[in-house]
Structure 1
Amino acid sequence: MRMVAATVAYDGTDFYGYQGQRTFRTVQGDFENALEKIFKEKVICHGSGRTDTGVHAYGQVIAFKVPNDRMTVQNVKDALNSVLPNDIYIRELKEVSLKFNPRFMAKKRIYHYYIYTGKQPNIFMRNRVWWFPYDLDIEKMREAAKHFEGEKDFSSFKTGNDERNPIREIKRVRIIRTSKDMILIRVEGTSFLKRMVRNIVGSLAKVGTNTWEPQRIKEIIEAKDRSKAPASAPPEGLYFYRVMF
């Protein structure tokens, strides 16, 4: 019996998030269904992080055991890509230790968030970016982003019944204008609370429109009160980009 880790990309538009659920279509559910088709038995998989409804991934890592010792790693990858739906694709597959668990062994997770600021919607990107047709002050957003970096209590930036420890470490936040109408927000951290990245983006947008001054971010973090922060940015612009072990 071998353990392998798959680097997986998926379009989250039609998924009710990553984590398996009985009554909704999920990435984990479709992935385990594909494994069962190939190996004729139930195979449990473990992801490196959970994505919400509508959130995409480019570098999700999913680990599972291979019941068939005769199949090579390439055989397993090809077989899975042949039966997975067309909105999930395995980019890479490699053998790992039997003790490997991508969720608990991840050292850094990187998320990308795309904001499209064009004055008219681009219908071909409607499920891929946040259409935000307003001018954004990149320099002020960068100044505000520095307040997120470091180990802090992010109670103001979690959503719902997330009872996990709110102390999280954000290693870096970068804000890059990739084209005239496209802004990329790259958030690097060890782990994140529910909707934490989307809540961070929503706050940075407030700064970018000059509704808030950059210092307001520091005040909201120190308040440890979700009601002080704005609504979450929509899921369409968020991508689980990479995991580092």
Structure 2
Amino acid sequence: MGFLSKLWRLGKPDFKPSHDKFEYTKWNKDQLIKRIIDLEGERKRKADEEGVDNDIPAIKRRKSSKGELRKRKKKDKPFDYSKYNTRFVALKFAYLGWNYNGLAIQKEPTPLPTVEGTILQAMNACKLVPSMTPQEFNFSRCGRTDKGVSAMNQVISLRVRSNLTNEQQLEKSFDSKEINYVHILNQILPDDIRVSAVCLRPPKGFDARFSCQNRHYRYLFSSFGLDIEKMKEAASLYEGEHDFRNFCKLDGSKQITNYRRTIERSSILKLDDGMLCFDLVGSAFLWHQVRCMMANLFLVGQGLENVSLISDMLNVQKVTKKPIYDMASDVPLVLYDCSFSGLEWSANDLSDFKSLQSNRRVFSLALDYKMKSAIANIFADILSVDQTDLGGRTRINLGDGKGKVVTTYEKMLQRKVMDSVETVNKKFKRRKTPKSEV
């Protein structure tokens, strides 16, 4: 009866030795052994299907395979960066800014994520950097963009984990064995942030901010209700070296005293899709400078101000304090390009499957926005939207389609003014100075 007891334990509760289908009392020893082997196999198959590991005591069984348990154990083990070499690289990337709270990572939480915060989070997740603290890996950015502003060729430099020895990093022949930084980051990053290239050997002393030779911005806008020829004439007045204190946001925390910047090119261009853009190239820019410049161009294009307004605002002996006015919208502004010397960019082969996967996601995103744009235009046409009749009021164009509606337009040079640069700096220093030192 030992075999029958074993069969009873292995079989289902309704399988009894006296069952008509299995009359075990009439079976010989070989038949009973075969039946036990079949039941053992059946139990193992069932356990595998349910994810039960038979080598784990029943009280500790979990629905996990041995491989999953090993992975979990390995995941719990902290990653030891000291076992790996690092290298200093530059990364080129693009992003759509309207879903982010600007480029730069912030110390305090923001309503939306920042672009840098998202990138560093991805780098930390794939163990390229040890933390979310930029100072720990020599981090630098090229051009800081505001909330809502996009970029097509932004650049950062930093130190990241490497697969190669310090000697191998110097040799181009070993590049194929290095971590594929572009691909691994694009696998993790959201679709509206894409890494386009990496420079594995930046020049000695390279810094993404201070090594940049010039920055190229474009501000997109519609020609509706604007005199484009006047705007072109006004835009050309920005070229050259000028004091742009009346075309920026004054920031006492930076204690800036020199507001002179050089504009290499300033023009109005027509784009292929029927839109126009304010095309601007300069060595460096002040906070909100491009949006302030564009706001004044809109006033000239609407005929609310003369072309000479630009020259007057650039003359800080004539206009000593910045008049109060609204900046142009953030969304149409794009950091189009950044120029460096001595950088050899390496991008993934566009015909490679890894690149095709990333490109497919970008194409899908672009098509999605294009469809939504087409539907929004139909929406406006059906509702017969009219921007001309404002009941005698004036709509100041700010580039966002809504603008600012005023009953009576006040000329720029007749408006109230803000504090001077000197006053703004003094007020900030006074707030930060301990009372014991006052």
TM-score range relative to shorter protein: 0.7 to 0.9
Aligned to 2:30: none
Question: TM-score scaled by structure 1?
Answer: 0.86
Unaligned runs of 5+ in 2: 1-85, 165-174, 341-438
**Percent of pairs identical after alignment?**
31
Match of residue 328, structure 2, among 200, 225, 233: 233
Aligned to 1:13: 98
1:185 matched to 2:291: no
Deviations 1:83-134 (A, max 9, x none): 11222101111221352111011110000110024xxxxxxxxxxxxxxxx3
SS in 2 for 1:227: coil
Report what 1:126 is aligned to: none
**CA distance, structure 2, for counterparts of residue 139 and residue 191 of structure 1:** 27
Please say which structure displays the higher CA radius of gyration: 2
Q: Which runs of 4+ in 1 moved over 4 A?
A: 71-74
Q: For residue 245 of structure 2, what is the aligned residue in structure 1?
A: 155
Amino acid at match of 1:48: C
Q: 1:39 to 1:236 in 2, by over 3 A?
A: same
Task: For 1:55-204, list aligned pairs within 5 A.
Answer: 55-70=149-164, 72=177, 75-95=180-200, 96-97=202-203, 99-117=205-223, 134-161=224-251, 163-164=255-256, 165-178=258-271, 181-204=274-297
Q: Distance in 2 between matches of 1:74 and 1:185?
A: 39
Deviations 1:43-98 (A, max 9, x none): 63321011000000001111121222348566111111111122210111122135
Partner amino acid for 1:92? A
Counterpart amino acid of residue 126 in structure 2: I
In the alignment of these two chains, the number of paired residues is: 228
> What residue identity is the alignment partner of 2:150?
H
TM-score normalised by structure 2 residue count:
0.50
Name whichever structure is richer in helix by fraction.
2
* CA RMSD across the alignment: 1.9
Offset at residue 180 of structure 1 (A): 7.8
Structure 1 spans left out of the alignment, 5+ residues: 118-133
Counterpart residue identity of residue 191, structure 2: N
Give the Å deviation of 1:160.
Answer: 3.9
Q: Distance in 1 between matches of 2:91 and 2:320?
A: 37
Measured at CA, do residues 11 and 175 of structure 1 come closer, stay the same or move farther in structure 2, by a change above 3 Å? same
SS at match of 2:199: strand
Change (3 A) 1:114 1:104: same
State the partner residue of 1:38: 126
In the alignment, is the contact (CA less than 8 A) between 1:149 and 1:170 conserved in 2?
yes
Structure ranking higher on relative contact order (CA contacts 8 Å, 6+ apart): 1
Deviation digits for residues 6-47 of structure 1 (CA, Å, limit 9, x no counterpart): 111001111111111130211111111111111261263321
Aligned residue identity for 1:235: D
SS at match of 2:126: helix
Q: Distance in 2 between matches of 1:237 and 1:199?
A: 13
Question: What's the secondary structure of 2:205's corresponding residue?
Answer: coil
Q: Please state whether the residue corresponding to 1:105 is helix, strand or coil.
A: coil
Equivalent AA in structure 1 for residue 225 of structure 2: D
Alignment check: 8 A CA contact 2:220 2:277 kept? yes
